[in-house]
Amino acid sequence: MAGLLKNGIRAATLARQCSRLAVSQQRSYSEMSFTFASPANVYYTAANVKQVDVPSFSGSFGILPNHVPSLAVLKPGVVTVFEEDGSNKKFFVSSGSISINEDSSVQVLAEEAHPLENLDAQAVREGISKATQEVNAAASEKAKAEAQIALECYEALQKALEN
C-alpha cells in the first residue's frame, strides 16, 4: 500500500517535471522579452510580443523571437509592435538604439517615442516648410547638416501619418 503510494507520488512528480520541461521548450521557442522605452515613457517592459518592426540606419527589419543577436541604431520612423492577441500598435521614434540579445530579449530605447495618434498633421506640415527654408538658408556646413536632419525627421513624420 505504501509502495503504491510512493509510486503514485513519483509518477506525479515525474509528470510535473516533464510538463515543466515541455513548457520551457515551448517558452524558449515563441517568447521574446520586449522592452520599449524612452526617457519619458515606458511602453513595454519585458513584454511578450509576436513581432516588432523597426526602422534603422541599416534598413527596416522585423524582429521575431529567437532573432540572431544584433545591434542597430534607430532612424526617425515608425516602430510597429505586433502583440500576442493579433493587434498592432504603431509608435513614432526619433532616434535611439536597438539591441537583441542571445536570450532573445529585445530592447528598443528611443530618445523620443510617441504613439501615432498623438501626432498633429498640421504641425508636421508647418515643420516641413520651415525646415526646407532652413536648409536653403543655412550658412555653415554644420547648420546645413542640422537643418537636413530636421527635414528628414519631418518627412518621416509625414510618411508615418500618411500610412
Binding residues for another protein, rule: CB under 8 A, are 35, 37-42, 45, 57-58, 68-73, 95-97, 99-103, 105, 107-109, 111
Which residue, 70 or 158, has its beta carbon nearer to another protein? 70
Write down the least CB distance from residue 162 to another protein, Å: 28
CB 119 within 8 A of CB 74: no
Which residue, 57 or 162, has its beta carbon nearer to another protein? 57
Burial 36-74 (b: 16+ CB within 10 A, else e): bbbeeeebbeeeebbbbbbbbeeeeeebebebeeeebeb
Which residue, 31 or 125, has its beta carbon nearer to another protein? 31
What is the spatial distance between Cα 52 and Cα 80, in angstroms, rounded to a whole number? Answer: 6
Nine cell digits for residue 144: 546645413
Write down the least CB distance from residue 147 to another protein, Å: 19
Which residue, 8 or 39, has its beta carbon nearer to another protein? 39
